[in-house]
Structures are given as C-alpha cells and as structure tokens.
Amino acid sequence: MATWLAKSEPEVYSIDDLARDGATGWEGIRNYQARNHLRAMKVGDRVLFYHSNGEPPGVAGIAVVRKEHFPDPTQYDRDSAYFDAGSKPDDPRWSSVELRFVEKFAHFVPIGVLREDPALDGLEVTRKGSRLSLHPVSEAHYNRIVALGRDGLAGLTGRRES
C-alpha cells in the first residue's frame, strides 16, 4: 500500500465537504507529474488531505482510494474550468480517481509543524517552491503526520504542550 498527499483549497473542497459527501471524484488535476502519480494510485492507498491556501495551510485528515484512475470527465466539459480542447476522447489526457472519506483529524496539522518536525525532513509539501498537488509520502512520514493529527503535539515524546 502506498501513501500520498493531495492538496485541495478548502474554499473549493474541504475535508468537511468530503466528510459530508462520503466520497468524491478527484477531478481537475492538470499537471503531468501529478497525473502520473494519480495513475499510480491503487485501491486502498491512503491519502493525506492537505488544505492549501488555508489559514493556515496544513493536513486536515485522511482519505482512501476507492476507485483507480479513469478519464477525468471535466476535460470534455466545455463549461468546466478544467476543459481541455486538446484532449481526445479516444486518448484522454487527464485522469481522475475516486476518494472516500476516512477521518478528519482531531488536531489539524499546520504547515509550521510539518516544517519544524525533524521526523518530517524531506517531505515534499514543505520543500521551498513545491507546487505539486499530488505526491507520494513515505510510510514513516505518513505515520508521523497521522500521529500528529490524532494526538497533537502533546502526544509526542520530547515535546512540551503549548
């Protein structure tokens, strides 16, 4: 099982929206590197749900892959912001997956914590200039972030409650 991090602007689609809907088609990926990651996602893979452009940005919860990649319908929809006139129906350029809600963290994990935690060195989302909206996360990093989300900083050894 692989683990991933997916960004979403909470103003557009938040963890609360996913909790309400139960599951959703993950549409609108328009970056080849992110698309390639998306096509590698397997049923059962866990996904850290990251709020970008939030106040503050950070990891809000967990989703799971329910359905592997299929053509993103919005690429053929002229009324969609994601419409792509260059994508042919017999050779779809963009893909989507279906994600199911798993949990919303008791403790939102803000980007400042992701940056400062030595256990999370090398995490893609905190790399300067990182814009990739979907990328793999190591199992160790995933487990660490889930622990932070469930227990908060107080639950970790070597840290004082603040």
Q: Under the rule (CB under 7 A), what is the footprint of DNA?
A: 7, 9, 30-33, 52-54, 56-57, 111-112, 115, 125, 127-133
The residue (of 90 and 116) whose beta carbon lies closer to DNA is 116
Beta carbon of residue 6, minimum distance to DNA (angstroms, whole number):
10
Beta carbon of residue 31, minimum distance to DNA (angstroms, whole number):
5
The residue (of 67 and 153) whose beta carbon lies closer to DNA is 153
- Tell me: cis bond preceding 10? Omega within 30 of 0 counts: no
Spatial separation of the C-alpha atoms in residues 137 and 127, rounded to whole Å: 13
In 3D space, the residue among 148, 84, 98 whose CA is nearest the CA of residue 120 turns out to be 148
Spatial separation of the C-alpha atoms in residues 59 and 64, rounded to whole Å: 15
Beta carbon of residue 152, minimum distance to DNA (angstroms, whole number):
19
